[in-house]
Chains A and B, each alone.
Chain A
């Protein structure tokens, strides 16, 4: 990945930038109310209705229309449950309602990953350390090489294959995420009591999910057993592929920036916002698309305000875009096929060892909605004055190599 250098903002500009975003947040928080609760409750009703209808139809799964309808309804149910409901509720987006069913701390979702482990690996590790190579384990999930800063190894030739496998079995990949199983396999981390405890949690959740989808419902359906089994497996697969696609479009399309730990030491709130904006990418689409994507299609807004109800992201996106335009910060967005296409290209390209750097060689085009990389000077805030820092030092064309632990081949993403 090679991207145009993001603008250099002075500390004062970054502070003003952070304050403008804080103001958006404060306004939305002050406006939270019945509309948000009605929205999420309506979605929950739709999801539960789809689930019951889907499982009911699959009991008549020997009839092809019933199988197709049932499988589609169950797939949609799982997608809504995991994304617009589960992911968002678990961020604490509805904690302010005081409704225990919408409590981010106790919500469980219809997937293999135990909710409490997700809250750690995602809400904390990923959202706090977004796109910091070596700290954000969402960069390749410890399996894929998703950054040029990770040293290439022959293992990485399988990058596309691993990606296809991860997408197919995504719920299990997510489930094992917090256990950091690839580090245990590589002998870099011990299977200590904490990890064992996490594994027990994963096992309990996987057992519950498997019992429901692959034993009880098929057995209850009697003669429809093979149809129910196939329908449930298809619904899980559909959800896996969809979630993988949306999630990988959040931080890996061309133009997204990655950072090093040194870049982000003593980060201010403005710098934190700045990193979130540079490290995330949006997807364009219709209302239904955004709902099915759990509004992670507004990944930038989500990373700025992870605990605001996600259905609000679309409403504030114009303002966020206006702010970044004024500061000359790239706003990475595009349709799904384009963004996901660039992710696939990256997966394939990073399977190969890096090309020797040749002057003037551009290895890919940034996918930006407009040439924001070179905004008109007049629109930009005053140029950096003396004492300006490059904040946070986003990794760009000429960047320093990260410093993997001496003598090891430890993958940075797995550190």
Chain B
């Protein structure tokens, strides 16, 4: 269990202890398990390699979300606004990992990061965090990943468009730019179902007041009373930005929002905006109508999902994954799935959409799947 409360004086490991942990002598003495596997049993944050974080504050902006402030241990290498981290928590014996985009500025002085987790009706991790997160809780983190980030050279204009829980990565971008004293123009179109479910409303208003170049407009898609009135359309752009054609544009939200923005950009002959969506794929159970694509990240290959077990699809793509029995027994073919849903052909069970180990000889993709092969 990593879910345990520690006095906060224990969080910051002393330098001597850290130097000791990283020494090759100690690593050789702890062979083959590694130092962390011993230390974590007594001090879950004082680790040589693994990233863990302590929850230091918990607040509820809306009834369907929880906002956590996390203080990672010294192994955390920071993130760029827009990236995501894998968060693992123990839930009834399993330790699922789910990607969340920090919403905080990448320059936070105290090294903390803020996650706003929106709950889904059957979201294992999101519901667990909403109901059980409290200061002192320890969670596992991966290092930050993702290409949905601001360009290295600051652009003249930045346009941020978010829908629902998709606000988090673009909120991080807005906060980061404001903290950097960004001199250009920032437009932010923020859509939510209703005022009650809108995230970061007061802070967006404050940032727009304090920073001259920042303009924010909100739209409620299922309630009255918003400035924009309903879903995204071309007319909303002028409310926040002088011209969208040359703005570095970042869109995060449900597929419908992304599609609507893409249509406008295509009509104007503009290059695709940077987009990200958190929506899980629709589940399809018929094997005849196999859909989606299978991506093999290590080899860089990709193929249309043929509906066959992933081991066969990998072989058809010219790969030679390690495998043994080809019947789900020996675990030799077990492989890391980074994204996508699979169905176990023996049990018929459908996996989660997150990162996990699967036996590719008995797993067929349900939609898009990304494998470390």
Contacts and interface: CB of A to CB of B under 8 A. Distances in A.
Given A33-B93, A105-B334, A212 B31 contact: yes
A211 B93 contact: no
Contacts of B38: 48, 52
A123 B93 contact: no
Given A48-B37, A110-B32, A216-B25, A105 B357 contact: yes
Nearest to B140: A100
B134 interface: no
Interface string B29-57: 10111000110010000000000000000
A272 B176 CA distance: 60
Contacts, number: 104
Contact of B32 (A90, A103, A205): A205
A109 interface: yes
A254 interface: no
A35 B93 contact: yes
B330 A127 contact: yes
A41 B41 CA distance: 10
Nearest to A213: B31
Given A34-B92, A98-B95, A104 B334 contact: yes
Contacts of B356: 98
Contacts of B28: 208, 211-212, 216
A123 B334 CA distance: 12
Given A33-B93, A124-B325, A101 B37 contact: yes
B97 interface: yes
Given A92-B334, A101-B37, A216 B329 contact: no
A99 B29 contact: no
Contact of A97 (B29, B95, B325, B329): B95
A216 B28 CA distance: 8
A318 B37 CA distance: 36
B331 interface: yes
B1 interface: yes
Contact of A212 (B29, B328, B334): B29
B350 interface: no
Interface string A303-320: 000110000000000000
A174 to B, nearest CB: 15
A124 B93 contact: no
A128 B325 contact: yes
A97 B94 contact: yes
A112 to B, nearest CB: 10
A173 B102 CA distance: 50
Interface string B304-343: 0000000000000000001011001111101110000000
Query: A interface, by DSSP: helix, strand, loop or mixed?
Result: helix
A189 B324 CA distance: 21
A96 interface: yes
Contact of A119 (B94, B95, B97, B332): B332
Interface string A8-33: 00000000000000000010010011
Contact of B330 (A98, A124, A211, A212): A124
B347 interface: yes
A240 B327 CA distance: 32
Contacts of B359: 92
Interface in A82-109: 90-92, 95-99, 101, 103-105, 108-109
A125 B1 CA distance: 34
A194 interface: no
B324 A128 contact: yes
B258 to A, nearest CB: 29
B32 A128 contact: no
Contacts of A205: 32
The interface size bin for chain A is 35 or more
Nearest to B352: A98
A128 B329 contact: yes
A101 B29 CA distance: 19
Interface string A138-149: 000000000000
B139 to A, nearest CB: 13
A259 to B, nearest CB: 16
Given A52-B38, A108-B32, A109-B32, A128 B330 contact: yes
B41 to A, nearest CB: 6
A12 to B, nearest CB: 21
B37 A26 contact: no
B101 interface: no
Contacts of A33: 92-94
Contacts of A105: 331, 334-336, 357
B99 interface: no
Contacts of A29: 347
A277 to B, nearest CB: 15
A192 interface: no
B88 interface: yes
B32 A123 contact: no
Nearest to B331: A92
A208 B41 CA distance: 23
Of A91, A92, A209, A212, which is in contact with the most chain B CB atoms at under 10 Å from its CB? Answer: A92
Contact of A48 (B31, B41, B94): B41
A217 B336 CA distance: 36
Interface string B76-110: 00000000000010101111110000000000000
A95 B38 CA distance: 21
A90 B334 CA distance: 11
Contacts of B25: 216
B234 to A, nearest CB: 43
B8 to A, nearest CB: 24
Nearest to A101: B37
Given A103-B357, A119-B332, A36 B93 contact: yes
A120 interface: yes
Interface of B: 1, 25, 28-29, 31-33, 37-38, 41, 88, 90, 92-97, 322, 324-325, 328-332, 334-336, 347, 356-357, 359
Given A29-B347, A123-B324, 18 more contacts: A35-B93, A36-B93, A41-B1, A48-B37, A98-B88, A98-B94, A104-B331, A105-B357, A120-B322, A120-B332, A123-B329, A128-B325, A205-B32, A208-B32, A209-B31, A211-B31, A216-B25, A306-B329
19 contacts: A35-B93, A37-B93, A48-B33, A52-B38, A95-B357, A97-B95, A99-B88, A99-B94, A105-B331, A105-B334, A109-B32, A123-B331, A124-B330, A127-B329, A128-B325, A128-B329, A205-B32, A217-B29, A307-B328
